[in-house]
Amino acid sequence: MATQCPKCQTENPDTLKFCGECGTHLTPGDKSQPSFTKTLETPVSELTRGTLFADRYEIIEELGSGGMGKVYRVEDKKTKEEIAIKLIRPEVAADKKMIDRFRNELTTARKIRHKNICGMYDLSEHKGTHYITMEYVSGEDLKGLIRRVGRLDSGTAAKIANQVCEGLSEAHRLGVIHRDLKPSNVMIDKEGNARIMDFGIARSVKAKGLTGEGIIIGTPEYMSPEQAEAKELDHRSDIYSLGVIMYEMVTGQLPFEGDTPLSIAMKHKGEIPKYPKELNPQIPEDFNRLILRCMEKDKEKRFHTAEELLSELSKIEEGIPTTERIVLKRKPKIKGKHLLLFSGAAVILILLILAVFFLLPKRQATIDSIAVLPLRTSSDNPKQDIFANGMTEQIINELGKIRALRTISRQSVMQYKDSIKPMPVIAQELDVGALVEGEIFHTEQQVLITIRLIDGKKDRTIWSNEFKDEPRDILVLRSKVARAIADEIKIAITPEEESWLQSAPQVNPEAYEAYQMGRNELRKGQFDAWRKALEYFERAVEIESSFALSYAGLAEAHAWRAGVVFAPEDSWPKVKEAAEKALTLDDGLSEAHTILAWEKFQYEFDWQEAEKEFRRAFQLNPNNANAHHIYSWFLSAMERQDEAIAQIKIARKLDPLYITIKHNEGWILSSAERYDEAQKIINDIIDSNPEYPLGYWDLAYLYMCQRRYEEAIAPIQKAINLLGDEIADVIPILGYIYGRLGKETEAREILKQLDEIATTGKYVTPISWAWIYLGLGENDKAFEWLEKAYETHATWIVYIKIDPYYVNIRSDPRFKALLKKMGLE
């Protein structure tokens, strides 16, 4: 009875344990599986061809299994790409520390980009099953090749080892060790190139303590002695494992075998292997010595680095005649009598292709959306990295001026820094037609930028170019890059946009560097970083007082702390002063108009001027996600809810991965009484970001809008716990809820906490006390605090018409009088 191989579908005699074609392990009675798709209703251990896993991945075939779990080739129905997924065994996934370690280590492994390394993507979970997604490499693994061919000739073994070593060298350069290097984790692709797989248990050399003491990770047959003893590992452990792989390639057998994994591991620790040359006399002596040096028990005696090993391997490979190297690629054979027919058909086909290419009219590019990925730098200098991030943002801002082109904002694209995700996946996640990637090199004399424009769906380079200029012309350079990209995709540019793209002044390089350092600190979102940002922006202004962007940076830095950390009267005037100074120097700064609009909305209660500034910001940069974002707050406060929702959705489209925008969409939908939509978004925030406190704030706010006060307690307490010391703006909400539920003692305890916080000198908005008194039903005291909030233009009072705290006083004459004073009635 024949046994069909589950991998290549070859029919094999039932006497074979491994497929004669591809080397896959055979189980008698294996049959090919039906090709139709079915929803997953069976345990993950029984996944078969056609099963739809996690409502997204259609199983094509099982690729193999190991100590961590099974690996499948699947089609990602979302991206229409073939990838591989590893389903982690339940007994492994049950250890939360193990899963946390995987998650941490994948973060590191994703940074590795190399032609000899298979890319790792993400760790996810579906109905209790944890799985890792990774790049799928079509071909066969090295273990299967060894089984199929037997021992490899020295030339082929050296070539494979050389490529594996190149991949290891890049990983080690980034501080990552593999820890489970073995032939089944090395794929030989269709071109005959080696690719290292499964960096899922890789560990950053710098990240100590992620593996529990005494835990052994790896495969016994390929373990280094120190790994067998569960000692701390470094890159030399991978060199040992590569030595074992080379040993197996050239001899066709393992150096150590045993009845149990422990016995094999102990042999690695204490036994000396047979010389490879004894088992295969054809091995060159220098190759024999190299393998044995890799397998030294004392790691100090091994090659010290992968680069050192690579250098020696290259010499050995060069010295082996090419006739001794087998061809790894499988090519179809064309027999003699068919050769002439095939050649003629090929000629006709080529002529047809050429005719179509030259005679058909060329289609104009239809790219109308783009994402500029973080520019890379080859330098280890942190300032170079900051400079690259800053230039990325500058190019995004320049492209954003083109109305006909949707340009993704900085917050979303920066999440792909050091990512190894394929370009089509990134394009699909950001919903864009094209991607821009490149490198930047910056010296005191010159700035050099290399740019590539990539078709997002086809992962094809459309165009590339190099730009260079002096540092003082850095703003001119960013405009040149943006203009060149626009020209290449043939996007329509109005005369007004053309003038904006060409209006770029020179700038003092030191001032520009200080400005970029300030932007870098501001992005961190931390209090200490905010102070440093102010210092950098002020330094930039001191160096060059006519540098408009520095004043815009100052305005934005003050705005994010105005009325939150500092009293409104101590901070908003500084925002206005800096923003107006920036616009005096350059009225074309969309970001400065945005911040000025925010100040007029939050502090001056000048609704008409605020809207005028927002519209000017959109005119200058229709892709300014921050402007659309803050404008949605304004519209919601004005009770123009449909417009507010439209604006927040535009902001989401321009910045799809920025969680703060998503959080505010949930809040606006709740205020607009679109509760089902709000619930869906809030659930998604919490599910994907369980440590994000504002997701729980959103849920509590949704429940308050629906007067489900009892249910609001748990999420707001969760938000308080996650916020730590930053609770002054959140605990009043809990006080209000307690008051509404008749829990007077608890509500008054929170009043005391607010008093204590205020005595420390930390600013607390008067509206906080008002909310708690409103919850307690003590309206007279609540109105006293509301008057203080109005007089000081306190945070949150601008939302008085929509927030649920005022539900019981909306008919009170004092409430209507307050709205009139604010110009809201």
Q: Are residues 184 and 315 in the same domain?
A: yes
CATH number, domain with residue 63 = 3.30.200.20
The pLDDT score that the predictor gives to residue 47 is 79
* pLDDT over threshold 60, residue 301: yes
Q: Are residues 477 and 407 in the same domain?
A: yes
Helical packing angle, 625-637 and 641-654, nearest 10°: 160
What proportions of the chain, in percent to the nearest 5, are helix, strand and coil? 55, 15, 35
- Per-residue pLDDT, averaged over 29-42, amounts to 38
**Region of poorest pLDDT, from 73-82, 248-257, 527-536, 562-571:** 527-536
Task: State how many domains the chain has.
Answer: 5
Q: Please report how the helices 235-251 and 285-294 are oriented relative to each other, as an axis angle in degrees rounded to 10.
A: 140
Same domain, 267 and 195: yes
At 81 the three-state DSSP class reads: strand
**From CA 258, how far away is CA 223, in angstroms rounded?**
14
Confidence of residue 369 (pLDDT cuts 50, 70, 90): very high
| Residues 261 and 170 reside in one and the same domain | yes
Q: How far apart are alpha carbons 166 and 169 in whole angstroms?
A: 5
* pLDDT classification of 536: cutoffs 50, 70, 90: very high
Instruction: Clarify whether residues 73 and 25 are in a common domain.
Output: no
Q: What residue numbers bound the domain in which 177 lies?
A: 139-324
Of 492, 515, 537, the residue at which a domain comes to its end is 492
Is 202 within the bounds of a domain? yes
CA distance 374 to 390: 9
Residue 307 shares a structural domain with residue 435: no
Question: Are 118 and 174 in the same domain?
Answer: no
Higher pLDDT, 206 or 512: 512
Q: Which residues are the active-site residues?
A: 180
Residue that is last in its domain, among 271, 293, 324: 324
Instruction: Evaluate if residue 416 carries a pLDDT over 80.
Output: yes
The two structure tokens encoding residue 755: 């008093």
Last residue of a domain, one of 114, 135, 156: 135
**Does residue 777 belong to any structural domain of this protein?**
no
* Tokens found for residue 606: 């000048």
Are residue 610 and residue 556 in the same domain, yes or no? Answer: yes
Instruction: Give the model confidence (pLDDT) of 732-745 as tens digits.
Output: 999 999 999 999 99
CATH number, domain of 537, equals 1.25.40.10
Contact 410, 657 (CB under 8 A): no
Examine residue 787 and state whether it is found in any structural domain, yes or no.
no
In this structure, are 213 and 112 located in the same domain? no
Write out the DSSP string of 240-251: HHHHHHHHHHHH
Of 766 and 333, the one with more pLDDT: 766
pLDDT of 272:
86
Let me know whether 118 and 92 are in one domain: yes
CATH number at residue 288: 1.10.510.10
Q: Flag whether 346 is in a domain.
A: no
Q: Given this model, what pLDDT does residue 3 score?
A: 63
Does the model's pTM come out above 0.75? no
In a domain, 674, yes or no: no
pLDDT in tens, 380-400: 778 888 888 888 988 998 888
Residue 677 located in a structural domain: no
Burial-class residue 780 by CB neighbours within 10 Å (0-12, 13-18, 19+): exposed
The total number of residues shown for the chain amounts to 825
Alpha-carbon span 481 to 504, nearest angstrom: 12
Using CA atoms, how far apart are residues 486 and 616, in angstroms rounded to an integer? 23
| Domain match, 297 and 407 both | no
Q: Report if residue 351 sits inside a domain.
A: no
Residue 672 domain flag: no
- 312 shares a domain with 454: no
Amino acid 643: pLDDT: 92
